[in-house]
Chain A
């Protein structure tokens, strides 16, 4: 399979009064066509910024983004519209990501009105099909977002993202604001759509069980950097980075007989403003030593398993 998306040394910095926020700092990532890459990490680790930078909702500070073999790092207006047909995003919050003054059908049709030359009748037909695909009753065509529940609103957001037949969709925490019973409906829908339409997903979430369910590969981010990257099975069977281990051990489980041995992390995530060189997790890491103040690249520790940790071999006795 070929790579649909390739990112090299991508950086996104924001200026703030207190310094430069290194939201995404030198990230490499490839996504194969038709696969799902899960991107996990805690709030403020840069996962949403990475997703938004890839689909050009924000311009990158440095680095290269290649989509379908073409360099799309810098696009003029015309190229941007062309790119948007192929790369779409589903947002976290179905309350604020839909225009409250547009009807369901207007919202779904808007991308087609703006970016295709289809006739009104064709667009209407397509939007009805989309409503079918994502499971919104047609009687709701003329409803406004506030009249819908969270699950249905998220379905509208999904239909809008699919309106232009994109190849690639960034799903930015699409189920975090939904209740479990509804969350399961939306996850099933996203997986069905991937099968039917051959979509490629970058799935951003903070929920490890959701990411395990939906992803083929998983990347773990910490303070703007990728710290572990591998296929789903290796990550859950044998997490190698101390942060990933702690993250997995912190998840509350419903298995009352096998409550996890918690790896307690000290303190909280540091500031992403002008970070010092060296491992950004060192301050909270139970294994941190002097060497951890040196910069640490993401290296292939086992075939296909990349980790950014100076002491990874020692800690895991590899």
Chain B
């Protein structure tokens, strides 16, 4: 939704993804665009079904082909469109230049393979090295994520949840990718373990200079780790800005609603202000703004809204035709 920056090393242009669901069409992603500068971290925030994971998986083209009805747009990595690549070109990028940490460490690992083999697998593919070299790399990676190399020959079930997620991180970073996509990397973990894993991701990102797209539903996680924030609703980025833009001056009524619905750790609030209603049915194509039925600021204009972005500043954009103005009660 922001204009193309010359320096962007990764961008998505007008991504649309639709799934088949029986006779129906699921409109999962409806025109998403963003740029990511090298070394930056973008947080994609949104609720279940908003389209976050679909965006992530389309970047690497790992959506199940039989379920996808339409996948359009451009995913530009250093100017090359990933959607136009053939399989050989794609394999050079996947897991090497761009890799992914999946949400659930229990299912992301192969239960019948030792963890060092799993970490080494991608490294052998991309570096054409011997098994011994790759396993040495696997041990280095395990040490890097805080697991003793002695345990390299163990199976996933011998590790706890937090350690499995560390193994997944080691796997994703083994080839020193330039872009890391982390899909809810800590959602399955307890808070104290989450804190350890987030600090680890942050430290490795900074040491290795990796760019990152972090997908989460937790605004607190975004606040701790991201530079840019994109709030997603019904398959669209409805607010985009720097962390300061979105956290200090949330402007889209949905973003404001999300902050209002969070119980506060420091303040006593008599009653939470939930966003009334439910997210729209993704099988329906909606005329006008998708947030309309739940929005506190809805007006006639919204019914025919065509998603022209409103620029609030150089860095801050929203998709809303009736936002609260400066100084107005939000």
Q: Which of B162, B193, B265 contacts A251 (CB 8 A)?
A: B265
Q: Is A188 an interface residue (CB 8 A)?
A: yes
Given A149-B278, A181-B275, A254-B247, are A265 and B192 neighbors across the interface (CB < 8 Å)?
yes
8 Å CB contact of A212 from B223, B248, B259, B265: B265
Is A250 engaged at the interface, CB distance under 8 Å to the other chain? Answer: yes
A-contact 0/1 string along B241-258, CB 8 Å cutoff: 001100110000000011
Kindly state the separation between the CA atoms of A248 and B264 in the bound complex, as whole angstroms.
Answer: 13
User: Counting CB contacts under 8 A, is B221 at the interface?
Assistant: yes
Which chain B residues (254-313) contact chain A, with CB distance < 8 Å?
Answer: 257-266, 269, 271-276, 278
Q: A318: CB under 8 A from chain B?
A: no
Taking the complex as formed, is A231 at the interface, i.e. its CB lies under 8 A from any CB of chain B? no
* Shortest Cβ gap from A248 to chain B (Å): 8
Binds B, one of A27-35, A103-111, A203-211, A289-297: A203-211
**CB-defined contacts of A269 to chain B, threshold 8 Å:** 160, 190
Give how many A residues have a beta carbon under 8 Å from the other chain's beta carbons: 39
Across the interface, which residues of A come within 8 angstroms of B193, CB to CB? 42, 268
Question: How far in angstroms is the closest Cβ of chain A from B189?
Answer: 9
Residue contact A252 to B192, C-beta cutoff 8 Å = no
- Chain A residues with CB under 8 A of B223: 252-256, 259
Interface assignment of A102: CB less than 8 Å from any CB of chain B: no
Q: Which of A243-284 contact B (CB under 8 A)?
A: 246-256, 259, 262, 264-265, 268-269
Interface residue ranges, A against B (CB under 8 Å): 42-43, 149-151, 179-185, 187-188, 191, 206, 208-210, 212-213, 236, 246-256, 259, 262, 264-265, 268-269
Known: A181-B274, A184-B275, A188-B271. 6 other contacts (CB 8 A): A183-B274, A208-B191, A251-B220, A254-B220, A254-B247, A268-B160
Q: List 30 A-B contacts (CB under 8 A).
A: A42-B190, A43-B190, A151-B278, A179-B47, A180-B261, A181-B261, A184-B262, A184-B273, A184-B274, A187-B272, A188-B274, A206-B190, A206-B191, A208-B191, A209-B263, A212-B264, A213-B264, A213-B269, A247-B191, A248-B265, A249-B195, A250-B194, A251-B265, A252-B224, A254-B220, A256-B243, A256-B244, A256-B247, A256-B248, A262-B195
Q: Which residues of B are in contact with A by a Cβ distance under 8 Å?
A: 47-48, 160-163, 190-196, 198-199, 217-221, 223-224, 243-244, 247-248, 257-266, 269, 271-276, 278
